[in-house]
Amino acid sequence: MVREDCLYTESHEWVKVDGEIVTIGITDYAQQELGDIVFVELPAVGDDVTAGEPFGSVEAVKAVEDINSPVSGEVVEANEILEDAPETINKSALEEGWIIKVKLSDTAELDKLLTADAYKKLIG
C-alpha cells in the first residue's frame, strides 16, 4: 500500500507533512521485504537528524537495516510503542507504526522526495 498523502525515499521511508512537523516511517513495501520486525532502535527526543543519514535501525528475523532520515531537523517525538511492540510496523507501517516526528529545518528538502506515483514506479 502506498499512501497518496505521503512523500517517499528510494530507501523506502515515508514522510507525512503537517506544517513544519513531519512524521517518518518505513514503507509497507520495506516491512514486507524485512519480514517479522523484532526490534526498533529509536533516536531520543531532541536529537538532530540529517537528510540521507541513518537515525536508527529496524531489526527483523532475517536482517538489520538502517533507517535513513528523509529530511533534516530535530526529533520532537519518537514512537515509544515500538520499544515494546516493534511488530506494530508489520501490522500498520503507514499508521500506528510511524517511527519519529521531526521539526523540519529545511523545507526545500521535501522537493527531493518521491511522490506516491514515483514511488509506485520504483517498487514496480
Specify the CATH number for the domain of residue 65. 2.40.50.100
Residue 5, Cβ density class (10 Å: 0-12 exposed, 13-18 middle, ≥19 buried): exposed
Number of domains in the chain: 1
**pTM, whole model, 2 decimals?**
0.96
- Structural domain includes residue 124: no
- Structural domain includes residue 40: yes
- Structural domain includes residue 60: yes
Q: Which residues contact 48 (CB under 8 A, 6 or more apart)?
A: 72, 73, 74, 75
- Structural domain includes residue 112: no
- Structural domain includes residue 121: no
- Structural domain includes residue 20: yes
- Structural domain includes residue 118: no
Range of the domain at 85: 7-107
Q: What is the pLDDT along the chain (124 residues), one digit of tens a residue?
A: 899 999 999 999 999 999 999 999 999 999 999 999 999 999 999 999 999 999 999 999 989 999 999 999 999 999 999 999 999 999 999 999 999 999 999 999 999 999 999 999 999 9
DSSP codes, 49-76: E-TTSEEEEEEESS-EEEEE-SS-EEEE
